[in-house]
Amino acid sequence: MMIFSGTSSRLLAQKTAKKLNLSLSSLSIHFFPDGEKRVRIEENVLDQDTIIIESTATPVDENYMEFFLIADALKRSGAKRVTAVVPYMGYQRQDHIFVSGEGVSFGVIAKLAQAVGIDKIINFDPHSIKIPEFFSIPFTPLSALPIFAEKIKEKKWNKNNTVLVSPDMGGIRRIKILSSLLNNMPYATIEKERDLSTGEVSVSGSKGLDGYDKAIIVDDMISSGGTIAISSDFLKEKGVKEIYVFATHPVFSDESKKILQKSSVEKVFVTDTVQIPEDKKFPKLEILSVVPMIAEELKKQ
Ligand code: R5P
């Protein structure tokens, strides 16, 4: 097995390779002044099982393009198989038409991934259950929820005074799985609305929230931080004293660092599916690693 990585997930790829007693295989990326890139595989991959580890967070389009160019270069160099570990795969929130006249952005991504010859995709916590159905190649959805469950057990937060909270109706499936990993910890949902033209979020109601001191908000990703900010304000209004957040993908766009650090949450736990630049880290942040899970999955190849 040969592991390659582009620029977006270099650390994650190095750690995964190390866990598998391998080192990263070599490729070069030349950056042209106009923003184009040229990718060259610098090893003999003929008839080899190859792996690309590359998340597609900000800058999402650039990272996608680089990912497609690496896959194409591997295929043209004779790789037998290309397995793509894309821990965070952008555009999943655009998995259907919200307003008539729109395209289906994630459908475009799925077509491109298959067109460049990727044989298999491994992804963490897809945004919805229909994501794998976009592909006619194998798609393995892994989840950070068992990692979150271990951390919650380690903290000894228990079901007597703690409730798991999904910040929107779309997260119910996720919260039910986590509840079952935690001896049926109670769960509740917030009803969140997003204004499709401004992107602003608001809370319109909730279910199952009353009577808890501690709340654990669980989400697939944090982008602007708006969802966490309004959900935690709402929980405080409901009388919750301590709020923690567990989210798989720290996309951290815009002012998220300021918003999250200023929010009423005690701590924000995320994973390393997305490499967080040093200047986007903040004191309330704790990063949990998905490396052991990726390594275990790759051992099955
Ligand atoms: C929405 O459906 C997602 O599950 C997240 O709640 C959302 O994408 C988070 O985005 P933001 O941090 O910008 O509110």
Closest residue to atom 10 of ligand 1, CA basis: 223
Residue 157 has pLDDT above 90, yes or no: yes
Q: What is the rounded distance in angstroms from the CA atom of residue 259 to the CA atom of residue 99?
A: 29
Ligand 1 midpoint to CA 277 (Å): 20
Distance set, CA 134 to CA 42, 63, 206 (Å): 32, 20, 32
Q: Is 50 exposed, middle or buried (0-12, 13-18, 19+ CB in 10 A)?
A: buried
Identify which of 58, 173, 220, 268 to mutate to test ligand 1's pocket (most ligand atoms within 8 A of the CB): 220
- Measured in degrees and rounded to the nearest 5, phi and psi for residue 189 equal -130, 145
Report yes or no: 144 and 126 within 8 Å, Cβ to Cβ: no
Residue 180 has pLDDT above 90, yes or no: yes
Catalytic residue at 192? yes
- Who lines ligand 1 at CB under 6 A? 93, 167-168, 170, 201, 219-227
Residue range 204-225, pLDDT digits in tens: 889 989 889 999 999 999 999 9
- Which of these is catalytic: 192, 241, 257, 280? 192
Buried/exposed 201-225: b ≥16 CB within 10 Å, e otherwise: bebeebeebeebebbbbbbbbbbbb
Q: What is the rounded distance in angstroms from the CA atom of residue 152 to the CA atom of residue 155?
A: 5
- Percent of the chain clearing pLDDT 90 (strictly above): 92
Report yes or no: 7 and 58 within 8 Å, Cβ to Cβ: no
Residue range 161-177, pLDDT digits in tens: 999 999 999 999 999 99
Ligand 1 midpoint to CA 222 (Å): 6
Of the pLDDT bands very low, low, confident and very high (cuts 50, 70, 90), residue 160 is confident
